[in-house]
Copies of this chain bind each other. A is one copy, B any other.
Amino acid sequence: MEIPKTHPRYESLMKREKIIEALNKGILAKAGLIAHGRGETFDYLIGEKTTPIALKSIKVSAAYLVLAKNPVISVNGNTVALAIDEVVELAKELNGKIEVNLFYRTKERELAIKKEFEEKFKEDIETGKIKILGIDDANKQIPNLDSLRGKVSEDGIFSADVVLVPLEDGDRTEALVNMGKKVISIDLNPLSRTARKSTITIVDELTRALPLLIKYVREFKNKDREELLKIIDSFDNMKNLKEMIDYIAERLKNLSLEEL
């Protein structure tokens, strides 16, 4: 389907096309399409732009990532479908570690995702600028998760101090936090268990949040440790989530049905 760039819902419709294409390529499970729809509604309620509330959590996340000794970006089918370029760009600002971590893990999907990275970022992989973990080396186990969903790479999530999990599920988020890791999630639903269990929750759409995260990671590399710790200490995730919920509720109340 051709969508004209002038269409008022161009961005949203393009993302929908990308998601369907990823299903066709075997990158995405069918349930991933339903999950995308859930996100669409929350983004619509937020107003399809990054709120000042989300920007605060993005800055704190950037501080965590810059201070991290061994950060890892965890990716699933939806993340690869929507934001593979942004994930790679962010990884290259860090230690290059990207780990594939699927909710419905099958060999076919793992390989389809691996192929997608290898086709688009052959040189970055060959020169070691990025490492795609979690497929051939998922030999460790996250405690208190069933075996398939808990499989992780020793070099990757297992030993990471900070894990960025875009679009993660609640169980795994909680299990990672229980392992003592700092978990940064990107989740459009401020009420989800993922949102509530994460160390920091960025309530924003993935392809808007990641470029901002990259921008602040670059900027914060020039700040000293004390300054970054101050940014981290001033943040309260539950308070931020509550602000986000109130923001949505206020926005709903003030919408005029006639003007929509």
Give the interface of A toward B (CB within 8 A): 16, 19-20, 23, 30-31, 33-42, 44, 189, 191, 193, 196, 238, 241-242, 245-246, 248-250, 252-253, 255, 257-258, 260
Contact = CB atoms under 8 A, between A and B. Distances in A.
Contact of A257 (B20, B242, B250, B260): B242
Contacts of A44: 191
Contacts of A37: 33-41
A196 B258 CA distance: 8
A34 B36 contact: yes
Interface of A is mostly: helix
Nearest to A23: B30
Contacts of A260: 191, 193, 196
Nearest to A35: B37
B39 A257 contact: no
A30 B37 CA distance: 11
Contacts of A40: 34, 37-38, 41
